[in-house]
Chain A
Amino acid sequence: MDLSLSTETIGDRTVVRVGGEIDVYTAPKLREQLVELVNDGSFHLVVDMESVDFLDSTGLGVLVGGLKRVRAHEGSLRLVCNQERILKIFRITGLTKVFPIHTSVEEAVQATD
């Protein structure tokens, strides 16, 4: 299994649960999923990365692209991540300042700013 994706609606938020490896090969699948959600009118996204084993800059690029899309509709894109190895990549690229990163889906769903 390279990448698994599932979505769930909680209130006005759409939670995208991602599992496996997000890299140059699998990132297009995540991009398609995010684009599809935005095209279908879901502008407040929570990407749950707790089951992600690997993330590279291609994956970061897809998340930044998703953020750009939801922002065009005054939406939001929040991340859920507690894994140090994944958080490190956000830190070294300075993206911790760009994405709100939460410790649980519940926290991300309830967050307002």
Chain B
Amino acid sequence: MATVELRFSALPEHVRTARLVAAAVARRAGADEAVLDEVRLAVGEACSRAVGLHQSSGVTAPVKVALIEEEKQFSIEVGDEAPHAVAGGDTPGTAQDGETDVEEDEMGLAVISGLVDDVEVTTGPNGGLIRMTWPTTPPATALV
């Protein structure tokens, strides 16, 4: 089970809450101070993307965030329930707004991939999941 799980209505105003919670849990898990900025930004990007996907697809389900503390690493999973288009299956002549959404979606993913070394993006017809992992520093007392 995740250390902390968060579900929030797909509204932009709740993304900040997800960022704050993620940073707090990451800090407790022993993530380096410099990594906390990355965590904050990456979670914000993943949640903004999920909110956008839910809103554009009319999905009323909440966005899910799982913060998982493991030995020597800290992972965050952001899940959406929006139906994702199959790669290469884009319909020609998409509306202007649709193109903007796709561009913003890609920008968010570009930021995540630029920030996080260990990131997995999986998508399917019933939703998508972004899993990001950071190493954590073991407590100093572990040194013999």
Whether B7 sits at the interface, judged by CB under 8 Å, is no
Contact between chains at B104 and A56 (CB < 8 Å) = no
> B90-98, B109-117, B122-130: which lies at the A interface?
B109-117
Q: How large is the interface on A (under 10, 10 to 19, 20 to 34, 35 or more residues)?
A: 10 to 19
**Chain A residues near B15 (CB, 8 Å)?**
23-25
CA of A65 to CA of B48, assembled, Å: 18
Contact between chains at A57 and B108 (CB < 8 Å) = yes
- The answer, among A21, A54, A57, for a CB contact under 8 Å with B107, is A57
CA of A89 to CA of B104, assembled, Å: 15
Whether A52 sits at the interface, judged by CB under 8 Å, is no
CA of A92 to CA of B13, assembled, Å: 25
CA of A14 to CA of B19, assembled, Å: 32
Contact A93-B107, Cβ < 8 Å, known A54-B40, A56-B48, A58-B48 = yes
**Chain A residues near B37 (CB, 8 Å)?**
85
Q: CB-nearest residue of chain B relative to A25?
A: B12
Contact between chains at A57 and B16 (CB < 8 Å) = no
Contact between chains at A57 and B104 (CB < 8 Å) = yes
Total A-B Cβ pairs within 8 A? 55
**Chain A residues near B41 (CB, 8 Å)?**
54, 56, 89
Return B107 CB to nearest CB of chain A, in Å. 4
Contact between chains at A24 and B48 (CB < 8 Å) = yes
Whether B45 sits at the interface, judged by CB under 8 Å, is yes
Q: CB-nearest residue of chain A relative to B106?
A: A57
B1-32 Cβ-contact flags toward A at 8 Å (1 or 0): 00000000000110110010000000000000
Whether B53 sits at the interface, judged by CB under 8 Å, is no
CA of A35 to CA of B44, assembled, Å: 25
Whether B51 sits at the interface, judged by CB under 8 Å, is yes
A residues near B (Cβ < 8 Å) are 2, 21, 23-25, 54, 56-58, 60-61, 85, 89, 92-93
9 nearest A-B pairs in the assembled complex, by CB-CB distance: A92-B114, A24-B48, A25-B12, A57-B107, A24-B12, A57-B108, A25-B13, A57-B111, A56-B44
B residues near A (Cβ < 8 Å) are 12-13, 15-16, 19, 37, 40-41, 44-45, 47-48, 51-52, 103-104, 107-108, 110-111, 114-115
With contacts A23-B15, A57-B45 known, what are 8 further pairs, Cβ within 8 A?
A2-B16, A25-B13, A56-B41, A61-B104, A89-B111, A92-B110, A93-B110, A93-B114
